Amino acid sequence: MPTLVRSNRLFPTHAQIGSFIETIPVTTGSSITFTADQYLVVPDAMNPGQFLQYSFLFWNAVGNLGSGLTTTLTVPATDAVATAWYLQIGGGGTPQVVTFAFSNELDIVVPETPIASVVPTSAWAGGNATNVATSQAVQITAKSSVAGTPPGASFDSWFQFGSGTPSGNALSVPAGGGSYAIASYRVPEQPGFKVPRIPELVEAIERVIRRIDPSDPAPIDLARLVGQIRTQLAAQQVGADELTQIVSQIDRMNATELKSALTDLQSKTRRIEAATRLVNDTIKAKGGER
């Protein structure tokens, strides 16, 4: 059973705010909701009798950032974090954009600047500088990736507080604007390649049959087609068993036996491909969706 660590952290140092931290046993796939306080007030350990005040900035809940006080997440199969990030209230200074590179998965600010370039160039010191002056309007372009994040992590979005408008990897801030601009980096979700499954296709065709007018002769044709596909499915299961047997014996087969097995498999593949084309063409002819 995975665990979820819920805590309040100071941005950007990652220091824990107060003594609150909670480790929660959770169930994979379950949904859980957290609500943060807009402000936190905690005793100042360095100055007895005084207090430090913090203002809510954003949530990082299982790698997903959100600026609302309430966040709802789906528990993954592994241990995860739900961190409410806060900014200490106080201070001031010359208007500028202060940028940070944030790793969603690691839930930390990484040292490298997220800035790839700034227009005008005079507004930025270059190198690993993270601040951009706003004596005039600026446009900041984020790097596609930064050091200190997991392999494969890339720029995801600007998470911006204050003046400015993000668009893709660019952040435009007007003259005199002040902003905290967080460039988040995460490992993109890999789109899964879904292999077509004949059982699902059969069910889809049966749903089409149920929607067609009984007086239409098409249901008879489609019903026959469903029966043929079910027969093909049974044959494919036999074919899968044969393939498993061939693979398990491949080291013991001579060249002649391997060639024979290859010819047989190629023949079965062509029959399956032909059956697949038949199904697709029939669905299109009946006005269904592939």
pTM of the model: 0.58
Core vs surface per residue 184-206: b (16+ CB within 10 A) or e: bbbbeeeeeeeeeebeebbeebe
Core vs surface per residue 134-169: b (16+ CB within 10 A) or e: beeebbbbbbeebeebeeebebbbbbbbebbebeeb
Nearest of 80, 89, 112 to residue 99 by alpha carbon: 112
Question: What is the length of the chain?
Answer: 290
Fold of 1-91: Ubiquitin-like (UB roll) (3.10.20)
Nearest of 53, 62, 68, 102 to residue 83 by alpha carbon: 62
pLDDT of amino acid 193:
43
pLDDT of amino acid 194:
46
pLDDT of amino acid 196:
46
- How many angstroms separate the CA atoms of 279 and 227, rounded? 12
- How many angstroms separate the CA atoms of 230 and 232, rounded? 5
The pLDDT tens digits along the chain (290 residues) read: 789 999 999 999 999 998 889 999 989 889 999 999 998 988 888 877 777 889 999 999 988 899 899 999 998 888 899 999 999 886 556 678 999 999 999 999 999 999 999 999 999 999 999 999 999 999 999 999 999 999 999 999 998 888 889 999 999 999 988 888 999 999 987 655 444 455 555 565 566 555 555 555 554 455 555 555 555 555 555 555 555 555 556 556 666 766 676 677 666 666 666 666 766 666 666 665 54
- How many angstroms separate the CA atoms of 110 and 113, rounded? 8
For 146-193, what is each residue's pLDDT tens digit? Answer: 999 999 999 999 988 888 899 999 999 999 888 889 999 999 876 554
